Amino acid sequence: MTTNAPIVVLKVGGSLLSLPNLAVRLDAVVQQLRKCEIVRLLVVCGGGEAADIVRRWQTLHGIPDEAAHWLAFRAVSQNEALLSHLLPDALVVQTRAEMRAAWSAGRLPILAAERFVRTAEPRTAEPLPHNWSVTSDSIAAWVAQRIGSERVVLLKSCALPDGAGLGEAAVRGLVDSHFPICAARLAVSWADLRADVPRLIEWQRVAEQSSWRSPCLAENWRPDPDGPT
């Protein structure tokens, strides 16, 4: 794979882990993005039910935000491991060097988010808030900026309301409240992976990326129920 190909961060919502044919649908997205253009993909996994358990623990036991923040990261590591088993060419990576090795080998890297964020945060002037204003949406956008990516694709369990911007989506709870800040300088796409015919929607284009438009964003695709497309 071309070493200077654009990096696209693919955020997989944790709520999708209960989707029976998730592996087929995810592989369809991956193959569609790869077919449209030469890109290097990095998967960031959401928390879903695993993170919800931490929320309940915090309410029940009075756990401080800082501790709950890192417990949620730890919970997400189970989801990362699950995705690595569901996708045939995937593997979990912790560092930029491991990402590059995975891309060179034609593999699909899934980020070990806790290890990456713990290592990268002390080196940046823009750390993440350590509270529930941040979920995997903001983490994906934050990681994108750390690794030189200009694009994030959000795979969700619901449709994006017509005309909703980042701020309105945050108010509605479709993305976390910090995401409009983290993603302000990024191109963002959205797909409802539970739809009968999932479609990648170009949600936000910013001036710096105004020339980019992946042809796959204008196409519908239907995952083959019997296997990857």
pLDDT, one tens digit per residue, over 159-194 is 999 999 999 999 999 999 999 999 999 999 999 999
pLDDT tens digits for range 95-149? 999 999 999 999 999 999 999 999 999 999 999 999 999 999 999 999 999 999 9
Whether residue 156 is contained in a domain is answered as: yes
pLDDT at 67 over 90: yes
pTM (2 d.p.): 0.89
Does residue 225 lie in a domain region? no
pLDDT band at 212 (very low <50, low <70, confident <90, very high): very low
Residue 220 has pLDDT above 60, yes or no: no
In a domain, 224, yes or no: no
Close Cβ partners of 20 (under 8 Å, ≥ 6 residues apart): none
Structural domain includes residue 155: yes
How many structural domains are present in the chain? 1
Q: What is the mean pLDDT of the chain?
A: 89
Q: Which CATH number covers residue 69?
A: 3.40.1160.10
Note whether residue 2 is domain-resident: no
How many whole angstroms separate alpha carbon 100 and alpha carbon 96? 6
Of all residues in the chain, the percent with pLDDT exceeding 90 is: 80
209 assigned to some structural domain: yes
- Residue 225 has a pLDDT of 39
In a domain, 38, yes or no: yes
Q: 228 in a domain, yes or no?
A: no
Domain around 122: 7-218
Q: Where are the beta strands (DSSP E) in the chain?
A: 7-12, 40-45, 90-93, 108-111, 151-156, 187-192, 201-204
